Amino acid sequence: ASAQIGVTGLAVMGRNLARNFARNGYTVAVHNRTAAKTRALVEEFGDEGAFVAAESAREFVDALERPRRLVIMVKAGDPTDAVIEEFAPLLEPGDVIIDGGNAHFADTRRREQSLREQGIHFVGTGVSGGEEGALNGPSIMPGGSAESYASLGPMLERIAAKAPDGSPCVAHIGPDGAGHFVKMVHNGIEYADMQLIGEAYQLLRDVGGYEPAEIAEVFRTWNTGRLDSYLIEITAEVLSHVDAATGKPFVDVVQDRAEQKGTGRWTVQIALDLGVPVSGIAEAVFARSLSGHAELRAASRDLPGPAPARLDPEAAKAFADKVEQALYASKIVSYTQGFHEIAGGAAEYDWDIDQGEVAAIWRAGCIIRAAFLDRIRSAYDADPALPSLLSDPGFAKEITEAQPDWRDVISTAVTQGVPTPGFSAALAYYDALRAERLPAALTQGQRDFFGAHTYRRIDREGSFHTLWSGDRSEVEG
Ligand code: NBP
């Protein structure tokens, strides 16, 4: 046994992760259900480091140093269970299985519990950064036992992305499913970021009258400021790309139906279960599903409404600055909601998650990497019990300054008929939080009226019911 780590599942992610370990000096055992992929990896990249090719599960397990560290990088869902069932009987107490796929955290909790009974550490690990990240440094979010992290952590730190201050983008998130939960929320935030960028693009195009290549320049400028992020950077690349076949902007020849693999949807489903309002993320998921309803959209195309009136170039320039404010303010709200969900998950499942650390390990390697995350990290470092990002004095100040433009952009969108569900949901969340009174009091009255669900009063303890169909006197509920 000579390999310090093994990777089974050698599609794009597993292959690149195995190469990343090898390039960092580790001897890596590699295995894949279809053995041809294992051989291909060693043939193509064998000179990058030390690989031990294993054809069978037994060979793979025997190639690993004890305690064994075995990374599973297969399609999430049933394949993961199949692989665990294949390997678990070959392992011994103290060995560590790392699942780097996009598992649902509830599956991870189930697998962790069952393997723990056999003395095997199961480390459900979020890995973000796609193919490129897996090879050159992903952001890594491991869950599982603290004990497993003691032996695994240093290896993950070597292969992880490095933040601008040099620190590795990996941290032990918490027990059992905590790592996959945080990865799920990362993806939900990613959906929201992408939706907000999409809305900014559509406003610049329809109201600002800019062409895609010009909008790319606007995004490039934004990318030198507080919006500096990977997603803004690639947005500029996509918008400036010209389709070779037609000579048209690439964005104009792609069908406008956004697909999804499910992690954004999970973020919203779980938020509903936890009772955490993630309205911005939900709007982003719904916007993708709406875009895919081709027949509904075709049937609705003739519905009346305003057509955007294009601004003159001077006004368009001023409008673009306002859109930047709206995008930034809405982004603060999305992250506020995402971090609230992490806090909600931590409370529900008894995970002690360091929110500042989560922000820190998202600073590089992952899809939502951004200069902004350093600010979030500082906010939580300054006050680990921060009730909301909006309570941080720095973010509160920025949102105060952005507010007139944020409102103005949404008003323009509404009067000109440009859909901005993300911007609007973010502002509605903000306004609801700061409201002195919400119509929830009326909701409680209605619930008591039709269902005797009772209500609480502002001036007395206890629950009460009004005899709505009687003399309307109040009784204790
Ligand atoms: P895929 O998700 O396409 O999975 C392909 C791999 O799963 C192949 O190695 C395949 O083996 C193996 N596999 C399947 Br399918 N069923 C199996 C079974 N019953 N037993 C054993 N092996 C089985 O690969 P990927 O895109 O590299 O993603 C791997 C994981 O990483 C996924 O969970 C994904 O969600 C996650 N992830 C992907 C990205 C990304 O950008 N692609 C980013 C972050 C996380 P075979 O070669 O024999 O068919």
CA of 74 to the centre of ligand 1 (A): 3
Catalytic residue among 37, 43, 190, 436: 190
Q: Would you state the pLDDT for residue 469?
A: 97
Please state the atom number of ligand 1 nearest to the C-alpha of residue 15: 27
Shortest-distance atom of ligand 1 to CA 103: 33
Report pLDDT for 134.
97
- What is the structure's pLDDT at 477? 86
pLDDT recorded at residue 417: 97
Q: Could you tell me how far CA 428 lies from the centroid of its own chain?
A: 21
Return the closest-CA partner of residue 353 out of 134, 188, 95, 126.
126
Q: Is 214 tagged catalytic?
A: no
> What would you measure as the largest C-alpha separation in the chain, in angstroms?
87
Cα(62) to ligand 1 centroid in Å equals 23
What ipTM was predicted for this assembly?
Answer: 0.98
> Which atom of ligand 1 is least distant from the CA of 101?
33
How high is the pLDDT of residue 391? 95
Report pLDDT for 238. 98
341 part of the active site: no
Instruction: Find the catalytic residue in 112, 183, 322, 357.
Output: 183
Check residue 374 and give its pLDDT: 96
Dihedral sign for Cα atoms in the order 227, 390, 357, 131: negative
| CA 181, 182, 188, 191 torsion-angle sign | negative
- How many whole angstroms from 14 Cα to the centroid of ligand 1? 8
Pairing of strands 463-466, 455-456: antiparallel
Kindly list the protein residues whose Cβ atom lies closer than 6 A to any atom of ligand 1. 9-14, 32-34, 37, 73-76, 79, 82-83, 101-102, 127, 130-131
Angstrom distance (rounded) from CA 128 to CA 174: 17
Q: How much distance in Å is there from the Cα of 261 to the middle of ligand 1?
A: 13
Rounded Cα distance between 167 and 244, Å, is 41
Among candidate residues 280, 380, 275, the one with its CA nearest the CA of residue 331: 280
pLDDT score for 88: 97
Residues 263 and 118: their CA atoms lie apart, in Å, by 30
Ligand 1: residue whose CA is nearest its atom 21:
33
Report residue 117: phi and psi, to 5°: -65, -25
pLDDT tens string, the chain, 477 residues long: the values are 699 999 999 999 999 999 999 999 999 999 999 999 999 999 999 999 999 999 999 999 999 999 999 999 999 999 999 999 999 999 999 999 999 999 999 999 999 999 999 999 999 999 999 999 999 999 999 999 999 999 899 999 999 999 999 999 999 999 999 999 999 999 999 999 999 999 999 999 999 999 999 999 999 999 999 999 999 999 999 999 999 999 999 999 999 999 999 999 999 999 999 999 999 999 999 999 999 999 999 999 999 999 999 999 999 999 999 999 999 999 999 999 999 999 999 999 999 999 999 999 999 999 999 999 999 999 999 999 999 999 999 999 999 999 999 999 999 999 999 999 999 999 999 999 999 999 999 999 999 999 999 999 999 999 999 999 999 999 998
Q: pLDDT at position 306, please?
A: 96
Query: What's the alpha-carbon Rg for the chain, to the nearest Å?
Result: 25
3-state secondary structure of 285: helix
pTM: 0.97
Residue 131 confidence (pLDDT): 94
